[in-house]
Structure 1
Amino acid sequence: MKRTTFFILLLICATVSAQNIEDVLRFSIENTHGTTRYQGLSGAFGALGGDLSALNNNPAGSAVFNNSQFTMTGTNYNRDNTATYFGSTSGTRFNSFKINQAGGVMVFKNYDKNADWKKYSLAFNYDLVNNFSNEFFARGNSNEGIDNYFLAYAQGQPLGPLFVQDGELIEEAYLDIGSSLGFGPQQAFLGFQAGVIDPVDINDDNNTDYVSNADYNTVNQEFLHSTRGYNSKFTMNMGTQYKDFLYMGASLNFHSIYYEKYTQLSERGYDSASEIQFINFDNLLISRGQAFSFGLGLIARLNKYVRLGGSYQSPTWYELTDDLAQRINSDSPVKNPDITFIDFNIVNLFPRYKVKSPGKFNGSMAIVFGPNGLLSFDYGYQDMSNAELRPTSDSSFSTVNSEISRELRSVSTFRVGGEYRIKQLSLRGGYRYEQSPYVNRITIGDLNGFSAGIGYNFGGSRLDFTYSRSERDTNVQLVDVGINTPAGVNGVMNNYSFGYTINF
């Protein structure tokens, strides 16, 4: 047959999808982005309000504004990752710049001094919930090679379907196996056609036992993990002030998601007698979708100095689609030479699926010292074990949901922030702590972060700058199955944010 270059899109049954806990947490964990002032106080704004990104903590915050305003913020994200793998350490730095916030609020005052309802507010805000741009590189000598990945999927799989049929292109066979048999047999097909694994009896189509063609005690592995994309949120908010002590608000949130993950695993250094001396295995995953959530909140002014806040953020309901492309190569003498035709032009398109991230409760307190400054404290609670993949009737999703309820736990978040004003100058600082969502506290560790900022009020406008730093340890699996030796990654994020606010 004549081979032409083209994109192949194939719908794979939902029952053979490859989503996991990582997919759920990717969209359930949110970072502290937002306006420069919001970042300067490490997001401790639940009882303060008067800031557009504070609507993320408490929708009642829009009713605190005394006048209409517009704010825009840009941030330079600097990530410094140190990966440790079998005693070898590798460092990677990555920079990206994004306009991470833009929005405005309109305040409508009631000039009847005897009225109970003092004012109303309408706010519209764009916030970057997560910036997925990141990268790390790990290398080391492992005793578990990539052959284990393919063996894990191949064992128990009949050999017959793993052959390329007469008159069939290898890329057609790859997609057909994924469509008819599922993701696991498709990975077994890749390993077999690349010569990484072989059946015990190649003449028996019913053979279900496989062996590796790679001989090693340890093998040198190099692993590149690179991600791009965003989870952004557009908020429509309405708030109101009742008398002089109560603020109320509600928000509707609309998310837009794009996520791209590229991984490259290369192996060298097998035994000199091994049939294979190198294997390269690349994967490109792209996720796209939308989501919706809502929020309700209250702020009570107890007296001249003290404010209390409480809010509820609903679960976020995501609708997503995944595209997966793969390529593999080796120097195996028994590989199919056409294996290189399976590349990033050959795309597996998975059906639409849903992720429900858990709802969140926030409680907060602030002490306001008139025009001189303030102190604020926020506490958030979110039970990650309630997250789930949908439809729950999907057997593979049910398996993942059982893992979620077993391996994830409730997460508490603490944020403290303060601001001190010297005439037109404002000095800010904050600290935040977020618990690990995992019961073992190892797969993803606790997060610690602090911030410092400065602002200058020109009267009709304000210019702000904030530096924030956060640090978290994670253990990243090189592949889903077969290699049980994760790379330990210490991730440090340094953000430099500039914001401009104009009052109307």
Structure 2
Amino acid sequence: MKNYIALAFGLVCSIASAQNINDALQYNQQNLTGTARYQGMSGAFGALGGDLSALNTNPAGAAVFNNHLFSATLSNYNKKNDANYFRTNRQATRNDLEINQVGGVLVFKSNNSDWKKIAIAANYDLVQNFDNNFEISGNSNQGIDKYFLSYANGVPFGPLLKRDGEYLEEAYLDIGKNLGFVDQQAFLGYYGGLINPVDETDDNNIAYTSNANYNTVDQNYIENTNGYNSKFILDFATQYQDNLYLGASLNFHSIMYDKYTEFTETGYESGPITRTTFDNYLHTEGNGFSFALGAIAKLNEVVRVGASYESPIWYRLTDDTSQRISSDEADDDISFINFNVINLYERYTIKTPSKLTGSLALVFGKDGLLSLDYGYQDMSNAEIKPTSDSGFAAANDQISNELGAVSTVRLGGEYRIEDISLRAGYRYEQSPYEDENTIGDLNGFSLGFGYTFGPNRIDIAYNRTEQDVNKQLFNAGLTTPAQVNIANTNVTLGYTVNF
């Protein structure tokens, strides 16, 4: 009966949000996915068009198609994370197979007008695959008690105490709902046995001490994430005379994200605590909207230029979280605070910055092409709303102070030998952080192959990116991050048919 009551309370509870700078970055990222041809050239299609995934860069590209077309793409995602934490190395890998692109275009031609062509395209792309694993271990001088102390210090002790006749899980949810995330973590640290107030007889006490005795502790952290950020494009494009293509798109985004973290700490010196575990679960879902405008111009038979604007993405998201903690000094009923006890966050909005892209391509008839895209996005303009929320205000201050402009360069080429196409590309994305250390620059390359037979084409692509990040285990208290090298490798197979 007790677990049932806890779950019922969780379903109606909401707490002050704990969103931060990581959310704004995570839902802005778009991996190199899409059709195999697009991936084989590292996505450098802004001045080319003629590919359904190219509509992610420039919506005018739909008018380059000469006939109706359908394509579908399957990708295998391999992710490898090498983590170093206090000189201990751990590696985690993951493989996932996904249908990451499906779409088509209808082309209507006119022989009696300067507007020679109208194209209507619909395309689905999996722009971000969140399936990933991290394993981090090391001997640290910063215990999990630091996490709880960072929240507890400054919080009055009296309101943290459960009332007579109140279940521990009810008090946990009630504090989250009425006092907020900070007080809830202080409550969890106290009843989890990690911290105590300096003066337990004073309800106004705002200073806390640790129950953990150590110089260093052994820590093991496991993080598993699942989910996706998908994008459905409804695109309208037209060709004016022989040399100008114009386009606009409405973009509908969908997010599903789950993160499970498991933290274990041992190796304490003599004292009441010998082992602590602290696990967290986060579920996020929602949708977003953006629009894009673009143009492509043929300057002559060889040179093409393109320009596009993608509006901010307005995401509306909801979160729910669960936590559990245990230690030798925890309250006897601490096990009733578990993943069946659910905190529902209030709905919130993330607005990502707009993006500008300029493109140049050289087309050498039927022999091949070279293409270059340059993108610019100022991440310091990202925003989490409502801004009236003090937690969001602090996160927005951090965004504006720590993030900066991001330049993206994509270079791709294709060489054709009759019915065979050989492709290669390079991708660079600047760190969104001003210090360039929290997240490093991203570098990647790609290779591709295509074979055309009749109205059909089969494409294969291989692309790989690497990036170094400093990953903190928790948002507060444990300030020394793990240094992680993230290597993503995609192998993609695509099929296209012309009608």
TM-score (norm 1): 0.97
Matches within 5 A, 1:98-109: 98-109=98-109
Give the structure 2 partner of residue 482 of structure 1.
477
Give the structure 1 partner of residue 217 of structure 2.
219
Residue-pair matches, total: 497
Give the structure 2 partner of residue 264 of structure 1.
262
C-alpha separation between the residues in 2 aligned to 1:172 and 1:141?
35
Structure 1 residue 394 corresponds to structure 2 residue 396: no
CA-CA distance at 1:6 after TM superposition:
5.5
Alignment partner for residue 139 of structure 1, among 137, 140, 151? Answer: 137
CA-CA distance at 1:244 after TM superposition:
0.6
CA contact (8 A) 2:6 2:170 kept: no
SS in 2 for 1:322: strand
Alignment partner for residue 11 of structure 1, among 9, 13, 16? Answer: 13
Cα distance 1:486–1:306, how it changes in 2: closer, same or farther (>3 A)?
same
CA-CA distance at 1:394 after TM superposition:
2.0
CA-CA distance at 1:161 after TM superposition:
2.0
CA-CA distance at 1:30 after TM superposition:
1.4
Structure 1 residue 317 corresponds to structure 2 residue 314: yes
Give the structure 2 partner of residue 276 of structure 1.
273
Give the structure 2 partner of residue 34 of structure 1.
34
C-alpha separation between the residues in 2 aligned to 1:366 and 1:416?
10
Q: Deviations over 1:239-263 (max 9, x none)?
A: 1101110000000000111111111
Give the structure 1 partner of residue 430 of structure 2.
435
SS in 2 for 1:260: strand
Q: Deviations over 1:343-377 (max 9, x none)?
A: 11111101100000000000001001111110000
TM-score (norm 2): 0.98
CA-CA distance at 1:206 after TM superposition:
2.3
Give the structure 2 partner of residue 90 of structure 1.
90
SS in 2 for 1:38: helix
CA-CA distance at 1:264 after TM superposition:
1.3
What code does the residue aligned with 2:496 have? T
Structure 1 residue 499 corresponds to structure 2 residue 494: yes
SS in 2 for 1:9: helix
Give the structure 1 partner of residue 324 of structure 2.
327
CA contact (8 A) 2:309 2:357 kept: yes
Structure 1 residue 61 corresponds to structure 2 residue 56: no
CA contact (8 A) 2:72 2:494 kept: yes
What code does the residue aligned with 2:201 have? N
C-alpha separation between the residues in 1 aligned to 2:365 and 2:239?
19
C-alpha separation between the residues in 1 aligned to 2:3 and 2:309?
57
Aligned-residue CA RMSD in angstroms?
1.1
SS in 2 for 1:337: coil
CA contact (8 A) 1:283 1:327 kept: yes
Give the structure 1 partner of residue 166 of structure 2.
168
What code does the residue aligned with 2:316 have? E
Alignment partner for residue 342 of structure 1, among 337, 341, 349? Answer: 337
Matches within 5 A, 1:278-317: 278-317=275-314
C-alpha separation between the residues in 2 aligned to 1:133 and 1:292?
23
User: 4+ residue stretches of structure 1 with deviation over 3 A?
Assistant: 1-6
Give the structure 2 partner of residue 384 of structure 1.
379
C-alpha separation between the residues in 1 aligned to 2:14 and 2:344?
7
C-alpha separation between the residues in 1 aligned to 2:123 and 2:421?
24
CA contact (8 A) 2:107 2:120 kept: yes
Alignment partner for residue 356 of structure 2, among 345, 353, 361? Answer: 361
Give the structure 2 partner of residue 444 of structure 1.
439
What code does the residue aligned with 1:70 have? F
SS in 1 for 2:11: strand
What code does the residue aligned with 1:350 have? Y
SS in 1 for 2:440: strand
What code does the residue aligned with 1:396 have? G
C-alpha separation between the residues in 2 aligned to 1:159 and 1:378?
56
CA-CA distance at 1:390 after TM superposition:
1.1
CA contact (8 A) 1:437 1:444 kept: yes
What code does the residue aligned with 2:276 have? I
C-alpha separation between the residues in 2 aligned to 1:261 and 1:300?
44
CA-CA distance at 1:440 after TM superposition:
0.7
C-alpha separation between the residues in 1 aligned to 2:433 and 2:192?
36
What code does the residue aligned with 1:11 have? C
C-alpha separation between the residues in 2 aligned to 1:156 and 1:118?
69
CA contact (8 A) 2:460 2:493 kept: yes
C-alpha separation between the residues in 2 aligned to 1:45 and 1:269?
54
**Percent identity among equivalent residues?**
59
Give the structure 2 partner of residue 417 of structure 1.
412
Give the structure 2 partner of residue 51 of structure 1.
51
SS in 2 for 1:249: strand
SS in 1 for 2:27: helix
CA-CA distance at 1:5 after TM superposition:
6.3
CA-CA distance at 1:205 after TM superposition:
2.2
What code does the residue aligned with 1:289 have? G
C-alpha separation between the residues in 1 aligned to 2:391 and 2:186?
18
C-alpha separation between the residues in 2 aligned to 1:391 and 1:256?
20
CA-CA distance at 1:393 after TM superposition:
2.1
What code does the residue aligned with 2:283 have? I
CA-CA distance at 1:10 after TM superposition:
3.8
Q: Deviations over 1:413-451 (max 9, x none)?
A: 000000001110000000000000000111111000000
SS in 2 for 1:315: coil
Q: Select between 425-434 and 204-213 the one with higher mean Cα deviation.
A: 204-213
CA contact (8 A) 1:10 1:179 kept: no
C-alpha separation between the residues in 1 aligned to 2:280 and 2:255?
20
Structure 2, unmatched stretches of 5+, are none
Cα distance 1:327–1:2, how it changes in 2: closer, same or farther (>3 A)?
closer
Q: Deviations over 1:182-223 (max 9, x none)?
A: 111100111110111112222222222211111000000101
CA contact (8 A) 1:10 1:175 kept: no
CA contact (8 A) 1:12 1:179 kept: yes
What code does the residue aligned with 2:303 have? V
Q: Select between 353-362 and 22-31 the one with higher mean Cα deviation.
A: 22-31
Q: Select between 3-12 and 184-193 the one with higher mean Cα deviation.
A: 3-12
C-alpha separation between the residues in 1 aligned to 2:302 and 2:454?
24
CA-CA distance at 1:488 after TM superposition:
1.0
C-alpha separation between the residues in 2 aligned to 1:145 and 1:2?
32
C-alpha separation between the residues in 2 aligned to 1:4 and 1:81?
39
C-alpha separation between the residues in 2 aligned to 1:235 and 1:139?
42
C-alpha separation between the residues in 1 aligned to 2:400 and 2:204?
38
C-alpha separation between the residues in 1 aligned to 2:61 and 2:288?
23
CA-CA distance at 1:275 after TM superposition:
1.1
C-alpha separation between the residues in 2 aligned to 1:206 and 1:402?
30
What code does the residue aligned with 2:410 have? R
C-alpha separation between the residues in 2 aligned to 1:226 and 1:84?
18
